[in-house]
Amino acid sequence: MNARKFYEVTGIRLAAIASNIRYADRLDLVLIEIARGAAVAGVYTQNAFCAAPVLLAKQHLQTATSRYFLINTGNANAGTGAAGRDDAFRCCQALAELTEVQACSVLPFSTGVIGEPLPVDKIVFGLPEAIDKLSASNWLQAATGILTTDTRPKLASTRLELDGKSVTITGMAKGSGMIKPDMATMLAFVFTDAQIHQQLLEQKLAQAVSHSFNRITVDGDTSTNDSCMLAATGHSQMQIDAGNKSVNEKFDRALGQIFQELATGLIRDAEGATKFITINVRQGASTEECLQVAYTVAESPLVKTAFFASDPNWGRILAAVGRSGLKDLSLDAIAITLGDLALISNGELDPNYAEEKAQIEMDKQEITIDIKLARGRCSEMVWTSDLSHDYVKINAEYRT
């Protein structure tokens, strides 16, 4: 977790308990209570085999005002068909009865092993304890309770002044592998005490996600359970609206920074990762082609293993750019730099390139690749990790 202070969000209470869903004595059931009147927005996985809780969360979000997020780890409740949807609803119904809300006011989220029945009895049994432990200060416990193969919780928080009023934004996320979100990440929950109407909140979530969680990749796999939620309680009495440009822009910058901090936190804690890699693609004809090149490089097993080995094998980067599928790519115009070192100039090895300088760059834990396409004015940035022995071990032993 980032060592800096995190702030409570008025109108939000959280709890995390151990309900033995997959492992004994491990926080694995998280309950988040959202104050009445809050606005809630969500984006979800683009995987066609999206999990039962994702389907139910989408439905419930459109049906009623959201009052609770119910999150379990250890079991994804994905690939479980109609029975999985029934199981997710039973958990929502049980919580609704205990808290005297509608079942559709509960949004379920799950992460863990795919294809196994959800242990509903364990979750339902733990609900009274979770309700009893709800507190405005339990952010670290909740951020810990949503983890699976992560090695540490990810929390990000800020407090800013807007027209003389204090506004807080605090969020948490989890995810270490099976990360190429195409929407958000495996699970992310961000909260603010600002007052934001529903349509504007949805716009802000989409914008924040597009430049954070939708710019990261660990392995190119999109999870069945990805969900990212943004809730605004309104308890600060500070209304954010598009008409107040300066306030709106200041809030958007702060929100974007929280989302980027959480997203890059996932890459820094990626399964088996030893390197944090930033890929800048500039001078592209469109955003789409910049991302096409960036993701081709970021997801190349040969590029990623070279980074793990700290091997300045620049030919792998060049090859990835070449096979990215851009039409009419002018090789003579391409320039690639590794950190401050020029690798490729005018489509060929830079005359000042030196292997020992490249080795210095590759030995760093944080590495930047800059690729100039000389095709236009668009640019995009993607964050990724290396591919290590530990990544293979973690995923080979995931169910054992």
Task: Give catalytic residues, as residue numbers.
Answer: 185
Which H or E run contains 280? Answer: strand 276-284
Which H or E run contains 357? Answer: helix 355-362
Per DSSP, 22 falls in state: S
Structure tokens at 297: 């490089």
Distance, in Å, from the CA atom of 153 to the CA atom of 142, rounded to the nearest integer, reads 9
Distance, in Å, from the CA atom of 200 to the CA atom of 123, rounded to the nearest integer, reads 34
CB 336 within 8 A of CB 385: no
Distance, in Å, from the CA atom of 285 to the CA atom of 14, rounded to the nearest integer, reads 46
Distance, in Å, from the CA atom of 52 to the CA atom of 83, rounded to the nearest integer, reads 9
Cα 311 to chain center, whole Å?
A: 29
Q: Kindly give, in sequence order, each residue whose CB lies less than 8 Å from that of residue 315, ignoring residues fewer than 6 positions away.
A: none
From 298, 286, 318, 123, select the one nearest 214 (Cα to Cα): 298
